[in-house]
């Protein structure tokens, strides 16, 4: 069979989600032929995922009828033929509604196919001396074979019609022994990993994803973000997404020598390690930011505002945001005044109310509370909806308030009088105290995340639920 020269680079969808067939331009003359087998810019331009190949493999097959498969591997592949011709068969062996879907096609040097992780791959050579080539985005190792999923070439459900009957084909004993579809354990999807899973946001994410086997949680004991060894030991290829719920949040202590070191270690150095892993292993990194990256001079803050942090904590959060922003697939969820399970402002005020104490509370810092259940739900929404990567403000909605306003609400909802709370200025409250500078306006503009279809609950409704 002669090669068809000068095809236009063309995309053909298949019945298997993510499996895409490509026509490749091959240029030939009396000397032979030439093609661009893999050209990243052109391939991305027509929609091929930027799957970042790291290894190029070639299978040389001396005789027509040589048959290999059906192997579903834990990486993505871009498959083509260097010389000769093959009949290819692909079966979806991933968990999900397309499990068992089949696609077949002939490939010569003018055709290629992209096969995502978990889709079974098989081929049969139609000519002698056929070279079958594939780019993969993970390094092959003997240990990796334990993550393969296999299907028998003769499976009756897939019902692949092989050009050379299997009885006459060249097969390995291993391939002959693979299970039928009814006995195949589908390859699970890559997981979401939540690090810093024991903090306020981590606990909310645990509750949100409770019972979901595709989400894995690691607290400080399970994964030490400060340890290079911990990063090296983890197989990052098993994750599609990492949510970083860890942070150093002791705003005032961060101004001390010891606190400054700790803040930079957690909020910047550990984040840089995660960002490097995200770039190297091509997963989505979700990071949580803070209103403290701004000086609070503007009345409201949108996602495009330049960083103007006042203190060490804000400086480390801004630095962490800058690091994460270079990750191709990232979400930065910028929050303010976080309230969740654990010690926080609302619980402190409720405790004071219960003890009959009449506190002085700052009345010139304006913002909105961010309840961790809504931060967690917003993160889940960004991931599930496929929203454009980038930074999103994520607080609760409603009329901006001062800390004194919120304290008065807590007193009232707790059955006490609002007038028990006295408002004072930030300057007066911190007079004579060692304290970090605070932004006076922390109101985050929510238009961007609302445009994705996520509408955070109002502070008033969440506060009422939280106290009840």
Does the structure show a pLDDT above 60 at 199?
A: yes
Among residues of the chain, what percentage have pLDDT more than 90?
Answer: 91
- With cut-offs at 50, 70 and 90, classify the pLDDT of residue 70: very high
Which of the residue ranges 24-38, 373-387, 426-440 has the most confident prediction, judged by mean pLDDT?
373-387
Q: What is the pLDDT of residue 468?
A: 87
Q: How far apart are CA 370 and CA 393, in angstroms?
A: 10
- Mapped onto helix, strand or coil, the DSSP state of residue 388 is coil
CATH architecture observed for domain 10-183: Sandwich (2.60)
Quote the CA–CA distance of 451 and 52 in Å, as a whole number.
31
d(CA 190, CA 177): 27
Q: What's the rounded mean pLDDT across residues 417-442?
A: 94
Whether the Cβ atoms of residue 257 and residue 399 lie closer than 8 Å to each other: no
- Residue-range domain boundaries for the chain: 10-183, 191-467
Tokens standing for residue 396: 């609760």
Question: Which tokens is 129 given?
Answer: 């001396």
Q: Is 458 exposed, middle or buried (0-12, 13-18, 19+ CB in 10 A)?
A: middle
**Catalytic residue (one of 71, 287, 330, 381):** 71
* Dist. CA 439–CA 291, nearest whole Å: 8
Task: List the beta strands (DSSP E) in 245-400.
Answer: 284-290, 330-335, 338-339, 360-362, 366-367, 370-371, 390-393
301 is catalytic: no
Tell whether the model's pLDDT for residue 139 goes beyond 90.
no
pLDDT for the residue numbered 29: 84
Indicate whether 59 pLDDT > 80.
yes
**In the predicted structure, residue 7 carries a pLDDT above the cut 90:** no
Residue-wise pLDDT tens digits, 101-110 = 999 999 999 9
Q: Looking at 22, 134, 313, 331, which residue is catalytic?
A: 134
9 close to 46: Cβ distance less than 8 angstroms: yes
Q: At what angle do helices 403-413 and 459-467 cross, to 10 degrees?
A: 40
Q: What is the mean pLDDT of residues 84-107?
A: 97
Residue 79 pLDDT grade (very low, low, confident, very high; cuts 50, 70, 90): very high
pLDDT band at 234 (very low <50, low <70, confident <90, very high): very high
Owner of token pair 């990567």: 389
27 catalytic residue (yes or no): no
Angstrom distance (rounded) from CA 440 to CA 407: 17
Whether residue 418 contacts residue 405, with contact meaning beta carbons closer than 8 Å, is answered with: no
Q: How do strand 401-402 and strand 366-367 relate by DSSP bridges?
A: antiparallel
Helix (H) or strand (E) holding 204: helix 200-208
Q: Provide the pLDDT for residue 438.
A: 95
Over residues 397-419, mean pLDDT: 96
pLDDT of residue 4: 81
Q: Which of 46, 96, 43, 36 is nearest to 72 (CA)?
A: 96
Average pLDDT in the 417-435 region? 94
Q: How far apart are CA 254 and CA 261, in angstroms?
A: 8
* Cα 298 to Cα 107: distance, rounded to the nearest angstrom: 60
Interval 308-345: pLDDT, tens = 999 999 999 999 999 999 999 999 999 999 999 989 99
Tell me how crowded residue 143 is: count the other CB atoms within 10 A of its CB.
8
- CATH entry, 191-467, from 3.40.50.720, 3.40.50.300, 3.30.479.30, 3.30.300.180: 3.40.50.720
Residue 144 has pLDDT above 70, yes or no: no
Q: List residues bridging with 29 in a β-sheet.
A: 32
**pLDDT surpasses 60 at 452:** yes
pLDDT at 145: 66
Reply yes or no on whether the pLDDT at 1 is more than 60: no
pLDDT, tens digit (0-9, with 9 covering 90-100), for 245-278: 999 999 999 999 999 999 999 999 999 999 999 9
Q: What percent of the chain has pLDDT over 70?
A: 99
The whole-number average pLDDT for the span 49-57 is: 91
């Amino acid at each position: 069979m002669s090669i068809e020269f000068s095809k236009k680079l063309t995309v053909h969808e298949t019945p298997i989600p993510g499996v895409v067939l490509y026509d490749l331009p091959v240029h030939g003359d009396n000397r032979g032929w030439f093609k661009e087998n893999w050209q990243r810019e052109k391939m991305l331009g027509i929609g091929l995922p930027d799957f970042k190949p790291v290894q190029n493999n070639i299978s040389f097959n001396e005789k027509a009828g040589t048959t290999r498969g059906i192997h579903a591997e834990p990486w993505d592949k871009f498959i083509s033929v260097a010389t000769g011709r093959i009949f290819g068969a692909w079966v979806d062996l991933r968990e999900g509604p397309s499990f068992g879907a089949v696609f077949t096609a002939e490939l010569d040097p003018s055709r290629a196919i992209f096969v995502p992780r978990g889709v079974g791959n098989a081929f049969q050579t139609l000519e002698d001396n056929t070279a079958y080539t594939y780019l993969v985005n993970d390094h092959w190792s003997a240990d990796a074979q334990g993550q393969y999923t296999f299907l028998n070439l003769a499976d009756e459900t897939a019902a692949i019609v092989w050009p050379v009957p299997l009885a006459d084909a060249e097969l390995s004993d291993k391939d002959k022994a693979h299970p039928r579809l009814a006995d195949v354990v589908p390859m699970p999807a890559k997981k979401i990993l939540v690090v810093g899973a024991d903090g306020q946001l981590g606990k909310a994410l645990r509750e949100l994803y409770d019972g979901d086997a595709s989400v894995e949680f690691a607290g400080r004991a399970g994964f030490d973000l400060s340890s290079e060894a911990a990063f090296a030991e983890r197989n990052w290829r098993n994750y599609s997404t990492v949510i970083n719920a860890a942070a150093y949040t002791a705003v005032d202590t961060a101004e001390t020598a010891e606190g400054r070191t700790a803040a930079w270690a957690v909020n910047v150095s550990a984040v840089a390690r995660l960002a490097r892993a995200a770039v190297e292993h091509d997963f989505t990194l979700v990071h949580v930011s803070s209103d403290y990256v701004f000086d609070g001079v503007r009345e409201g803050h949108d996602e495009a505002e330049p960083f103007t942090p006042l203190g060490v904590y804000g400086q480390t959060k801004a630095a962490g945001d800058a690091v994460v922003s270079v990750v191709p697939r990232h979400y930065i969820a910028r929050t303010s005044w976080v309230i969740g399970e654990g010690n926080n402002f609302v619980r402190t005020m409720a405790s004071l109310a219960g003890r009959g104490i009449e506190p002085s509370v700052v009345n010139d810092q304006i913002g909105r509370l961010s309840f961790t259940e809504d931060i967690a739900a917003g993160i889940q929404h960004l991931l599930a909806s496929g929203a454009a990567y980038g930074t999103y403000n994520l607080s609760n909605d409603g009329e901006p308030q001062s800390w004194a306003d919120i304290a008065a609400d807590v007193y009232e909802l707790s059955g006490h009088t609002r007038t028990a709370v006295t408002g004072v200025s930030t300057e007066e409250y911190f007079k004579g105290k060692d304290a970090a500078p605070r932004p006076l306006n922390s109101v985050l503009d929510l238009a961007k995340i609302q445009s994705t279809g996520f509408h955070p609950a109002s502070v008033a409704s969440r506060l009422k639920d939280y106290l009840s």
